[in-house]
Structure 1
């Protein structure tokens, strides 16, 4: 069915709203991981985006704030950001979008009622409601091989719910290799204290043993802006001798999230990280040297985005995904998605939620879908102006690729 200009907006928005989503990167866990399964209003309010926004007002020192209980912290955030000031930031608006989706009337004096609503939801019911509201097919977790609290859950129950898919996260291996080697030695692997052929082989064995337990869809690491391919460091050796061979052997992609400067303000804890520009030329060389390995790349710095698009045009094994962390704000999502579509067509993954609290899935996908729909409408309108015939089936194909198809292809789903 041909789509006319006067119905284009409605058709696109309907198809985007109905599109099933594969969420490419989250920090969520299945309900079986009880203390790791973050959900509800207090977990939303104590999300680190809102914590640092609260602490900016200087009413309470970070040390005093973090000495409070979670409920007390949530009270402080609510009063500061939702009562004493208008909740206009994206993170605040996200909370309100979630509450509206649940049919809750959010107002400055409604926190007790909101808490009562969430207290009645079982973990399983809560997960079902969120997946339905976000129209999620599945999400990909962040599964840290060096976190004993999490790995204690790695068993049959951990992988039973196929809505929660695994990704093997190995940040310590690349960012603090000495500590990682000690960790592996304590587990019985013959690693270090120096890099050697045996150490590399034992690191690969460690990764294989972890992967056998959770069947990850990709290997993942968050890296500083100083990351370089073949830079002569221990990190560089591990990339060449461990990470790339492991991904090649398992036939899974390597997901690199680059640009975080850790704890520039340690007092802010999880909210204390900042951003830096990385070297895209080094990523190009890595893709050139390893054409049989898929690299899933998201960069934290806005200033890197155009270079990354250019690189993706040259290397089919470089797959761009999402607007990560500090870039996940409407104005920047729109700018970056427009540029990517102009340069890459629909051959990228426009967004991931990066959700740390279950309920985040609702607002992050609602808000992102609105923006992505706007970008699609603008590009399709330009297409119609050339006289090109556009059908509803064409649009549905493109929408499905953006929200799930491209992810499924690169992950082999």
Structure 2
């Protein structure tokens, strides 16, 4: 086809494992393995057969044109050069962007095409076909996928992807054995070869390792350097910096994750999203379970059981999320409360104690906004009063802490209300003037 680059050398990417036969039929037209191999060739595969000690390995490779036709048949969405996701069309191949390594399809997209070709070619005859394998007769019925039938009969043992030795050796040299550059990783090559999940995992691992340099260096300094009397201030500063480091790392990782998704043209369409099984049917997370049940025509008892099961799963997920949130709040708040309690007990001046309380509350509020939970400050700021009560065991100190917090909170609310009132007056005055 005009405008299409020359195809790469044939690379076998899928292997089908069948037992090695003891008997060979005179008429190979009825041998189920021979029929399977012929069907593979008919749909466009290149086939290579390798005999092992106990099994036979049928290796499959699909040319670019075959994959393109299947991708168009599946209405696979790909990103164009203008940034729009459109269903793939083989005739408009030059309009679609290629992968970081120059290939048209990623491994996940190729695997979808392979899966469709392997599992969904059907018998075209109107009557059953009798196939044989080592004296066993198998009925291949109309409308039945041959590979699935052979899997049920135990003739096809496994279907698994094969390694591409050229790409694997390239990754081995540029990644695993690259001792000169321990920081960077060929993330794009990892994505093309291993897929999205493994690439994102190693991207996170690399970023986390680089970011760990700061707390590791800070911790070594605290371990080997004697700060003397400044130790009372250095350790609280270390705890606060670690919490700030964790919050910033989480925010920067979200940005990097979004950048990787945009670079790899990942979309979360219905066909690729996670689904659940409901009464033997696929249920996508974008589809309401009630709509699925109504359209399935199942009996009322089964419908009730499925809806109750879904409701209880919702309760369990909500309980899990609540536990995670509470533990996160404790992990975020505890270092600040420990530092605050320690400094509050050491400082003797009441004015400095009030200033410490004000700075402490402002820092907590600022970190909470960075973390993305606006109501966290108001929800947990008084939880730790019980902690101070158990720590000091002094009602006068506890009373002083409560009064200072309430005074600062009241001043902050008045300042915020005055600011909102001024904005409202300015806004109304602008409307009247117009």
Normalised by the shorter chain, which TM-score bucket? under 0.3
Q: Which has the larger radius of gyration?
A: 2
Q: Which protein has the bigger helix share? A: 2
Superposition TM-score, scaled by structure 1 size: 0.23
Superposition TM-score, scaled by structure 2 size: 0.22
